[in-house]
Amino acid sequence: MYEAKDRVGYITLNRPEKRNALSHELVAELKKAFVQAENDSAVKVIVLQANGEAFCAGADLAYLQQLQRFSFEENLADSSHLKELFLKIYQLKKVVIAKVQGHALAGGCGLATVCDFVFAVPEAKFGYTEVKIGFIPAIVLVFLIRKIGEKQAKHLLLSGELVQGNEAMSFGLINHLVSKDKLNETVFEFAQKLIKNNSSQSMALTKQMIDQVQSMSLTDALTYAAKMNAEARASDDCKRGINAFLNKQELNW
């Protein structure tokens, strides 16, 4: 599930026989893995990946059958369990890259959505099919609107359509399309670029600000931004970076 190598923390979905479908246990394991990766001082960037043909096919069928017998309180607790995973990934202090080698559907598409970057193969399909089975994409909806805007989110969430390749790119679901034989190499190179070129503190604070400012008024957001700007100037990373820039020194973070 978790492995650290070359300053990258790899979190791997490993239920290929179930198309990496989400179960209560898998969500719990993912939450633990992301906490471990966030606290691992040897890791600067995290890659979420999967074994098998699918990235993640959403909820496990046996799990869906089990949910039908739950009380409201049990369903609320279970729903909060998934919410905590998505929020943890979204607010993680380290950059998270989704490496999507196969279909990402429903909750699996949500898993990719909350990551900071998504690299995917052209044949991978993305979509939120919940409305087709009388369910709703409730939790991911909150993140998706933030990510791609109301118009695009409405199209995907209300139609339940699957998109892939350039269409998925045009919706803003993915950042880069990469052939299957180049996916591992491309994601590794991108992760190393972030690791070597960028301050981990700066990336963490920028992620935090992106999360925070969207719920603020313009005035409050700008006041918060000015405060963060001033605090960042006093940081060791900023002093080190500016000094290297002024002295035309190469900086390796």
d(CA 43, CA 195): 9
Banded model confidence at residue 2, pLDDT cuts 50, 70, 90:
very high
| Among the ranges given (73-77, 125-129, 209-213), the one the predictor scored with the smallest mean pLDDT | 73-77
The CATH number of 198-246 is 1.10.12
Q: Supply the pLDDT for residue 253.
A: 85
pTM: 0.94
Q: Which of 29, 130, 161, 231 is catalytic?
A: 130
Q: Supply the pLDDT for residue 224.
A: 97
Distances (CA, A) of 48 to 64, 194, 222: 24, 16, 33
Q: Supply the pLDDT for residue 252.
A: 80
What are 130-188's pLDDT values in tens digits?
999 888 999 999 999 999 999 999 999 999 999 999 999 999 999 999 999 999 999 99
130 is annotated as an active-site residue = yes
Higher-confidence residue: 61 or 209? 209
What are 210-233's pLDDT values in tens digits?
999 999 999 999 999 999 999 999
Residue 82: closest CA among 126, 135, 123: 135
Which residues is 143 bridged to in the sheet?
A: none
Count, residues in the chain: 253
Mean pLDDT of the 38-61 span: 94
Q: Supply the pLDDT for residue 243.
A: 85
Within a 13 Å sphere around the CA of 215, how many CA atoms are in the beta-carbon half?
Answer: 6
Spatial contact of 126 and 181, defined as CB atoms under 8 Å apart: no
2-195 under CATH 3.40.1390.10, yes or no:
no
Structure tokens at 244: 């290297």
Please state the domain extents for the chain.
Answer: 2-195, 198-246
